[in-house]
Amino acid sequence: MKKLSGLLIAGVCLALVAGCAQYRLDLNKEKSSLTSETVASSIAPAYNKFGRLAGFVLTVENKTDKSIELVWEKTFYQLGGQNKGNFLFADASSADRNQPRPPDSIFASVRIHIDDDSIHYTYYVPPEKIPARSTWKKFVFPLELVRSVPPLGLLNDPLPSGDNGVYLTLKIDDQELNKTMVLKVNRVKRS
């Protein structure tokens, strides 16, 4: 019996390793970052706890003497140039991915609207203030690719092949600045 269970575990591990894909990223600095006199922002690959490419490290540098706001309600995950929803996020105070990360924060509040035949939930995240002359960083994961797997909790599926990006909305002096930043993901099967 022990031999059979050992073979079964080895078979499952072999199947998982054989089925895993490697990733090739085409990181175009012009497409994955924004630089102006007031702000610099960029996205970089972020990996989930299983080592899969699952989101982005979003960095925003405020070059002004005033706070600016990141407007979460107008910041979206994009796939192939189309908005695909919002993000779950975690603090990225340490860039070392071997350090434990705090748990993902989902949303600050939920708005519920009930009409005659259904209930609609609207998730709301208040704007994030980025202090003057500072750099802010978070791990952001597309809500579109997050699923609940009891008893494991929330899992991030890997980013699909293609242009994956962030449509970023910042508010600077009561004016909105919008920028799309993109990482091109090519999934390559191991041979």
**pLDDT at residue number 134:** 95
> CB atoms < 10 A from the CB of 2, how many?
6
On the question of pLDDT at 60 being above 60, the answer is yes
What is the pLDDT confidence band of residue 148, given thresholds at 50, 70 and 90? confident
On the question of pLDDT at 108 being above 90, the answer is no
- Residue in 71, 55, 66, 36 with CA at minimum distance from that of residue 104: 55
**pLDDT at residue number 100:** 41
188: amino acid identity, one letter: V
**pLDDT at residue number 52:** 83
103 Cα distance to chain centroid? 14
**pLDDT at residue number 14:** 39
What is the rounded average pLDDT of the residues 134-162?
86
Name the residue with tokens 């079964």. 8
On the question of pLDDT at 166 being above 50, the answer is yes
Alpha-carbon gap, residue 160 to 184, rounded angstroms: 10
Q: Is the dihedral of CA 129, 70, 153, 123 positive or negative?
A: positive
What is the pLDDT confidence band of residue 115, given thresholds at 50, 70 and 90? low
Give the CA count within 13 Å in the CB-facing half-sphere of 104: 20
Contact 132, 64 (CB under 8 A): yes
166: amino acid identity, one letter: V
**pLDDT at residue number 47:** 85
**pLDDT at residue number 126:** 78
31: amino acid identity, one letter: K
Contact 184, 163 (CB under 8 A): yes
**pLDDT at residue number 99:** 43
What is the rounded average pLDDT of the residues 164-184?
93
On the question of pLDDT at 153 being above 90, the answer is no
Among 20-24, 81-85, 153-157, 186-190, the range scoring the smallest mean pLDDT is 20-24
Contact 17, 175 (CB under 8 A): no
Greatest mean pLDDT among 80-94, 148-162, 167-181 lies in: 167-181
**pLDDT at residue number 89:** 76
- pTM of this prediction? 0.72
